[in-house]
């Protein structure tokens, strides 16, 4: 019915246009990639591999580019070790387009210098009308450093003991803030801090009150924290590090602060990351009162934290269309994930590989919303699959639990299921 498989061997031109092979051609040269494609096509014509596997076999014959592109089947939506948010196709296209000469700092109408990255800045300002002005730096930590340096060097930052966060890899916000020459004035206790605690510490030496969203942990039980609206009555600027980069509230994540609500509650300045829940490139977003933001962006340190034109292009594209892969992964329907995982199981079974579909719990990750469980489904395989999949091509990362390897499709692009299937089938069987 499908006829001779040799007729289904994909054509060379189509294969060379495929993104991963095209990327390999850009770094290794077209001739080398063409040779690998021809060899894989020949193997398919001899019936040694299926026509569907030609691309993967050609890729496997070429040296892997660095960094390696991996399949995130961990069920962790924002995995710091896997580069947090993957960019949307529109953002990727914008990065590629911006790689050459661009008008990043020039007004083409007047021929004069213009504010760097104004497309991204305008889009950010438009997305959060409550912000008087906005600025963008390299990452969330840089946004905090710039705020502390410009607004509190030689002065005090008043912060709750319950919000002195370690962000990861041994880096701690208190150390970061003190490295700017600001002094930390810790108030309250680990579990409880009241408005009176802040009020007693605020004085003429105060640079600002800092509110940090505990984005990677939760304290429950006998707790008290002071909301931004109450801190805003203290008569000093409130800087809120919301972490995740949600610009407006998301009903799926009710405890996750967003920039618009935080500014409306009275924060003078909000800082956030671009590559967490916003689903954009690594960047530090600063939104707030126009006079404060202006002080930040004219500060000498701002030049050292200046953001790359590729980042600005990706950020503008992300803001233009918030339907990012991160958003899709967060909001993926559990029923549809179950069906998709079932189809993968059936396809594997047809090739003699036995796997199960099991309920699983996905999480947002270090990028935000600790304690939020996302109902999910996973393909369950024996644990021995974990290492060959991780070291294979493409590397597939799953989660090991109770002697099983769980592959959660929530963060795997839908068009990568065939690639995942082929990767699982390449793991040698028992015996």
Identified binder of ligand PLP from the candidate list 72, 88, 215, 324, rule CB under 6 A: 215
Write the CB contacts of 23 (distance below 8 Å, at least 6 apart in sequence).
65
Quick one: how far is CA 69 from the chain centroid?
15
Question: Which residue number, 167 or 397, has a Cβ lying nearer to ligand PLP?
Answer: 167
Write the CB contacts of 1 (distance below 8 Å, at least 6 apart in sequence).
none
Q: Residue 223 and residue 231: Cα distance in Å, rounded?
A: 17
Question: Which residue number, 158 or 360, has a Cβ lying nearer to ligand PLP?
Answer: 158
How many residues belong to the site for ligand PLP (CB under 6 A)?
A: 12
- Which residue bears the tokens 């661009």? 102
End-to-end CA distance of the chain: 35
CB of 142 to ligand PLP, least distance (A): 7
Identified binder of ligand PLP from the candidate list 79, 135, 213, 327, rule CB under 6 A: 213
Beta bridge partners of 206: 156
Question: Which residue number, 172 or 390, has a Cβ lying nearer to ligand PLP?
Answer: 172
* 98, 114, 310, 400 from 104: Cα distances, Å: 9, 8, 10, 45
Q: Residue 264 and residue 228: Cα distance in Å, rounded?
A: 9
Interface segment toward ligand PLP; rule CB under 6 A; list 18-26, 88-96, 207-215, 350-358: 207-215
By CB under 6 A, the residues from 223 to 282 that bind ligand PLP are: 241, 243, 273
CB of 157 to ligand PLP, least distance (A): 14
Is there binding between residue 326 and ligand PLP (CB under 6 A)? Answer: no
Q: Which helix (H) or strand (E) holds 378?
A: strand 373-382
By CB under 6 A, the residues from 158 to 187 that bind ligand PLP are: 165, 167
Q: Residue 256 and residue 242: Cα distance in Å, rounded?
A: 8
Question: Which residue number, 139 or 193, has a Cβ lying nearer to ligand PLP?
Answer: 139
CB of 257 to ligand PLP, least distance (A): 10
Identified binder of ligand PLP from the candidate list 33, 87, 120, 141, rule CB under 6 A: 141
CB of 239 to ligand PLP, least distance (A): 11
Is there binding between residue 139 and ligand PLP (CB under 6 A)? Answer: yes
CB of 273 to ligand PLP, least distance (A): 3
Q: Which helix (H) or strand (E) holds 126?
A: helix 118-127
Interface segment toward ligand PLP; rule CB under 6 A; list 47-55, 137-145, 195-203, 299-307: 137-145
3-state DSSP helix/strand/coil % of the chain, to nearest 5? 45, 20, 40
Is there binding between residue 75 and ligand PLP (CB under 6 A)? Answer: no
- Which residue bears the tokens 């109770």? 402
Structure tokens at 39: 């060899």
**Residue ranges that bind ligand PLP, judged by CB under 6 A:** 139-141, 165, 167, 212-213, 215, 241, 243, 273, 284
């Amino acid at each position: 019915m499908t006829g001779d498989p040799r007729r289904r061997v994909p054509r060379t031109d189509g294969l060379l246009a495929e993104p991963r092979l095209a990327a390999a051609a850009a770094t290794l040269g077209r001739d080398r990639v063409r040779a690998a494609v021809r060899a894989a096509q020949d193997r398919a014509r001899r019936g040694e591999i299926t026509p569907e596997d030609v691309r993967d076999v050609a890729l496997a014959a070429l040296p892997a580019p660095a960094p390696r592109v991996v399949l995130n089947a961990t069920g962790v939506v924002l995995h710091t070790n896997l580069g947090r948010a993957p960019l949307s196709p529109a953002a990727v296209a914008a990065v590629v387009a911006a790689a050459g000469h661009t008008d990043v700092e020039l007004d083409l109408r007047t021929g004069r210098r213009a504010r760097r990255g104004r497309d991204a800045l305008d889009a950010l300002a438009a997305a959060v009308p409550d912000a008087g002005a906005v600025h963008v730096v390299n990452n969330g930590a840089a946004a905090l450093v710039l705020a502390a340096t410009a607004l509190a060097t030689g002065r005090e930052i008043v912060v709750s003991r319950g919000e002195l966060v370690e962000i990861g890899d041994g880096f701690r916000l208190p150390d970061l803030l003190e490295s700017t020459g600001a002094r930390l004035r810790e108030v309250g206790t680990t579990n409880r801090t009241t408005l009176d605690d802040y009020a007693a510490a605020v004085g003429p030496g105060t640079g600002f009150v800092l509110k940090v969203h505990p984005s990677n942990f939760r304290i429950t039980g006998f707790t008290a924290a002071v909301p931004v609206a109450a801190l805003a009555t203290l008569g000093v600027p409130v800087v809120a590090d919301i972490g995740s980069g949600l610009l407006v509230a998301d009903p799926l994540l009710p405890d996750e602060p967003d920039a618009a609500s935080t500014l409306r509650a009275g924060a003078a300045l909000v800082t956030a990351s671009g590559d967490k829940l916003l689903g954009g490139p690594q960047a530090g977003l600063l939104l707030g009162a126009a006079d404060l933001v202006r002080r930040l962006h004219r500060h000498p340190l701002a030049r050292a934290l200046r953001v790359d034109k590729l980042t600005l292009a990706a950020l503008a594209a992300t803001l233009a269309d918030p339907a990012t892969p991160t958003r899709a992964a967060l909001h993926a329907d559990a029923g549809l994930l179950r069906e998709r995982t079932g189809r993968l199981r059936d396809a594997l079974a047809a090739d003699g590989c036995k796997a199960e579909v099991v309920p699983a719990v996905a999480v947002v990750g270090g990028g935000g919303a600790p304690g939020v469980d996302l109902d999910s489904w996973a393909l369950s395989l024996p644990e021995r699959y974990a290492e060959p999949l991780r070291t294979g091509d493409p590397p597939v990362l799953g989660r090991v639990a109770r002697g099983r390897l769980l592959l959660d499709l929530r963060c795997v692009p839908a068009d990568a299921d065939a690639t995942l299937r082929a990767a699982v089938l390449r793991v040698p069987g028992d015996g």
